[in-house]
Amino acid sequence: MKTKLLITLLLALGLLSACAEFNPHSMDMNQAVHNAKTKADHEALAQHYEEAAREMQVKVEEHKKLLSQYQSKSYLYGRQAEDFKAHCERLIDVYEKAAEENLSMAKMHRQM
Protein backbone atom coordinates (compact mmCIF):
# COMPACT_ATOMS: atom_id res chain seq x y z
CA MET A 1 0.00 0.00 0.00
CA LYS A 2 2.78 2.42 0.90
CA THR A 3 4.67 1.69 -2.31
CA LYS A 4 1.57 2.36 -4.40
CA LEU A 5 1.11 5.69 -2.63
CA LEU A 6 4.77 6.57 -3.09
CA ILE A 7 4.65 5.70 -6.80
CA THR A 8 1.46 7.73 -7.22
CA LEU A 9 3.02 10.73 -5.50
CA LEU A 10 6.17 10.51 -7.61
CA LEU A 11 4.14 10.28 -10.82
CA ALA A 12 1.99 13.23 -9.77
CA LEU A 13 5.08 15.27 -8.94
CA GLY A 14 6.62 14.36 -12.28
CA LEU A 15 3.49 15.39 -14.16
CA LEU A 16 3.23 18.67 -12.28
CA SER A 17 6.85 19.56 -12.96
CA ALA A 18 6.41 18.66 -16.65
CA CYS A 19 3.46 21.04 -16.84
CA ALA A 20 5.35 23.93 -15.25
CA GLU A 21 5.23 27.14 -17.24
CA PHE A 22 8.16 27.70 -19.56
CA ASN A 23 9.00 31.32 -20.22
CA PRO A 24 11.06 31.68 -23.42
CA HIS A 25 11.73 35.37 -22.80
CA SER A 26 14.49 36.33 -20.43
CA MET A 27 12.71 39.58 -19.65
CA ASP A 28 9.15 40.70 -19.01
CA MET A 29 8.27 41.71 -22.55
CA ASN A 30 5.15 43.69 -21.63
CA GLN A 31 7.14 45.76 -19.18
CA ALA A 32 10.06 46.18 -21.59
CA VAL A 33 7.81 47.32 -24.44
CA HIS A 34 5.87 49.77 -22.25
CA ASN A 35 9.07 51.22 -20.77
CA ALA A 36 10.90 51.59 -24.09
CA LYS A 37 11.37 55.29 -24.68
CA THR A 38 14.86 55.80 -26.06
CA LYS A 39 16.45 54.61 -29.26
CA ALA A 40 18.68 52.29 -27.19
CA ASP A 41 15.61 50.70 -25.58
CA HIS A 42 14.04 50.00 -28.96
CA GLU A 43 17.35 48.74 -30.32
CA ALA A 44 17.61 46.27 -27.41
CA LEU A 45 14.07 45.07 -28.10
CA ALA A 46 14.85 44.70 -31.81
CA GLN A 47 17.92 42.63 -30.99
CA HIS A 48 15.86 40.46 -28.65
CA TYR A 49 13.28 39.80 -31.37
CA GLU A 50 15.99 39.07 -33.94
CA GLU A 51 17.59 36.56 -31.57
CA ALA A 52 14.21 34.90 -31.04
CA ALA A 53 13.78 34.73 -34.83
CA ARG A 54 17.20 33.08 -35.19
CA GLU A 55 16.24 30.50 -32.57
CA MET A 56 13.02 29.76 -34.44
CA GLN A 57 14.95 29.39 -37.69
CA VAL A 58 17.31 26.87 -36.04
CA LYS A 59 14.27 24.87 -34.99
CA VAL A 60 12.93 25.03 -38.54
CA GLU A 61 16.19 23.57 -39.85
CA GLU A 62 16.20 20.82 -37.20
CA HIS A 63 12.67 19.78 -38.10
CA LYS A 64 13.41 19.90 -41.82
CA LYS A 65 16.22 17.41 -41.21
CA LEU A 66 13.88 15.20 -39.19
CA LEU A 67 11.24 15.43 -41.90
CA SER A 68 13.79 14.41 -44.50
CA GLN A 69 14.72 11.41 -42.35
CA TYR A 70 11.09 10.40 -41.94
CA GLN A 71 10.48 10.73 -45.68
CA SER A 72 13.55 8.87 -46.84
CA LYS A 73 13.37 6.07 -44.27
CA SER A 74 9.69 5.82 -43.47
CA TYR A 75 9.97 2.03 -43.41
CA LEU A 76 11.87 2.35 -40.11
CA TYR A 77 8.93 4.05 -38.41
CA GLY A 78 6.07 1.81 -39.50
CA ARG A 79 2.58 3.20 -39.32
CA GLN A 80 3.75 6.18 -37.26
CA ALA A 81 5.82 7.58 -40.13
CA GLU A 82 2.90 9.60 -41.50
CA ASP A 83 2.15 11.01 -38.05
CA PHE A 84 5.80 11.99 -37.60
CA LYS A 85 5.87 13.66 -41.02
CA ALA A 86 2.67 15.62 -40.33
CA HIS A 87 3.99 16.64 -36.92
CA CYS A 88 7.27 17.93 -38.39
CA GLU A 89 5.47 19.78 -41.20
CA ARG A 90 3.22 21.49 -38.67
CA LEU A 91 6.14 22.48 -36.44
CA ILE A 92 8.06 23.82 -39.43
CA ASP A 93 5.07 25.97 -40.34
CA VAL A 94 4.63 27.24 -36.77
CA TYR A 95 8.33 28.05 -36.31
CA GLU A 96 8.54 29.81 -39.69
CA LYS A 97 5.56 31.99 -38.79
CA ALA A 98 7.06 32.74 -35.37
CA ALA A 99 10.35 33.75 -37.00
CA GLU A 100 8.51 36.06 -39.41
CA GLU A 101 6.57 37.65 -36.55
CA ASN A 102 9.72 38.20 -34.51
CA LEU A 103 11.47 39.79 -37.49
CA SER A 104 8.44 42.00 -38.03
CA MET A 105 8.55 43.13 -34.40
CA ALA A 106 12.30 43.80 -34.70
CA LYS A 107 11.71 45.90 -37.81
CA MET A 108 8.97 47.86 -36.04
CA HIS A 109 11.21 48.65 -33.06
CA ARG A 110 14.06 49.70 -35.34
CA GLN A 111 11.71 52.21 -36.99
CA MET A 112 10.63 53.72 -33.66
User: Residue 72 falls within a domain, yes or no?
Assistant: yes
Q: What is the domain extent for residue 62? A: 39-112
User: Residue 44 falls within a domain, yes or no?
Assistant: yes
CA dihedral 80, 81, 86, 92 (to 10 degrees): 120
User: Residue 100 falls within a domain, yes or no?
Assistant: yes
Coil, helix or strand at residue 64? helix
Q: What is the pLDDT of residue 102?
A: 95
Count Cβ atoms below 10 Å from residue 59 Cβ, excluding itself: 17
User: Residue 16 falls within a domain, yes or no?
Assistant: no
Give the chain's domain count.
1
Q: What is the pLDDT of residue 13?
A: 58
User: Residue 51 falls within a domain, yes or no?
Assistant: yes
The answer to whether 37 and 62 are in contact (CB under 8 A) is no
Q: What is the pLDDT of residue 24?
A: 53
Q: What is the pLDDT of residue 21?
A: 46
User: Residue 60 falls within a domain, yes or no?
Assistant: yes
Tens-place pLDDT, residues 54-68:
999 999 999 999 999
Buried b (16+ CB within 10 A) or exposed e, 82-106: eebbeebeebbeebeebbeebbebb
Tens-place pLDDT, residues 4-49:
655 665 565 565 555 544 445 556 777 777 677 788 888 888 999 9
Q: Is the pTM of this model over 0.75?
A: no
User: Residue 3 falls within a domain, yes or no?
Assistant: no
